[in-house]
Amino acid sequence: MTTVTKEEIGEITVSSRDFARQNYKGFGAVITIGDPGCQQFVVPEESGVKQLILEFDDAISMHGNSKIVTFEHLQRAIEFAREHRDVPLLVHCGAGERRSPATALAIIADRLGAGREDDAVQYLFDTYKDIEPNTRVIEIADHVLDRSGDLACGYYLVKDKRAEEKQAEMEKLRSKPSLTKSKRRWR
């Protein structure tokens, strides 16, 4: 893996809707991902900030009346990001933890080019610690970008590695004697 630089991908920020409402003026373009049928955050036209609004549920499969992400959603997001390559881009959803990081991953992978999918995934996880990207979005992005499974595979490999590292850290913490046990030993 190689290090990803801002020069390669531009300025891309993943956030929650609340952050977007308060900070949209610091960006040249905003991708808003919201729940279908709900009122979306709309950037005021007079701000000069360009906006793409996409509506799909944070779901990985069809259930009930859910509207899951489609090929067209991701195609529009990637094309919008390409058109606004030279300005800071904000990608946000409700909490900024699932749909927006997955969409940002598609944009980062597009900007890095084929063969650098693992770098894109690692960059995303290094930059945003508390995310759990929507796997359906990643899998669709893989098709939109024609990456033959490399983006999805890279995501699952990094995710598994992170889970193993967290598990090892938890086991390490459990194996340390607690302060209470240490005090008893010295009494």
Q: Write the Ramachandran bin of 113: left for phi over 0, alpha for psi from -120 to 50, otherwise beta.
A: left
Summarised one tens digit per residue, pLDDT across range 50-66 is: 999 999 999 988 777 88
pLDDT in tens, 51-110: 999 999 999 887 778 899 999 999 999 999 999 999 999 999 999 999 999 999 999 999
Which domains does the chain carry? 6-185 (3.90.190.10)
- Cα gap 63→75, rounded to integer Å: 23
Residue 34 CA from chain centroid, whole number: 14
